[in-house]
Amino acid sequence: MNTTAKSEATYATILDAAVGMASTEGIGQLSLGELSKRTGISKSGVFSRVGSLEALQSAVLDEYDRRFSEEIFLPALAASRGLPRLSTMVNLWLRKIAGEARGSCLYTAGAFEFDDIPMPHPLRERIETGVLRWRATLRKTVLQAMEAGHLRPDTEPEQLVFEIYSLVIGVMHDARFLHDADAPRRAQRAFNRLISTYRSFSDLE
């Protein structure tokens, strides 16, 4: 393995460990020293590849965004426009949370971790931007479902997005705090019941 490939492999090892640490302990708990211990790479070696702690936190969110897009957003685009796409997004999101260590979503967990940090704060702003971007994507998909006649015309997109987010927060709480392995299944059932109240009568015919 040449020097460049070895350096890239080392960086990938550090980043993967950092994403795992952020998922289980919170992105605000990341430290170069702890990553050095967990990866067996010297602290200077970690620093030389990731730079500052702030740069590492940004890289972790970039990697989480990449994985989120690969595992949720892009597969959902393959589903039919409207309710099938919305359901796929939520189903995959719940599945990802269930598969993450202790049921974490970096942005949702980060919103609680940094909710009392005053602005301006670069990491808090980055997390807020990510949360709002995903909520906007869900809202757009809800509107498309309404346009397709899958959801009732009196559906309030913001309300439905709020309720979906509430389910995700609920499953994270039970999976992380109560260590309830059935939490994702219960959340899926709750989502199905929720959507049934929004379904257009014409879509059910």
Contacts (Cβ under 8 Å, ≥6 apart) of 63: 15, 19
- Contact indicator for 145, 86 with CB cutoff of 8 Å: yes
CA pair distance 102, 129, nearest whole angstrom: 24
pLDDT digits (tens, 9 = 90+) for 133-171: 999 999 999 999 999 999 999 999 999 999 999 999 998
pLDDT digits (tens, 9 = 90+) for 39-88: 999 999 899 999 899 999 999 999 999 999 999 999 999 999 999 999 99
- Contact indicator for 183, 160 with CB cutoff of 8 Å: no
118 Cα distance to chain centroid: 23
> DSSP for 59-109?
HHHHHHHHHHIIIIIHHHHTSPTTHHHHHHHHHHHHHHHHHSGGG--HHHH
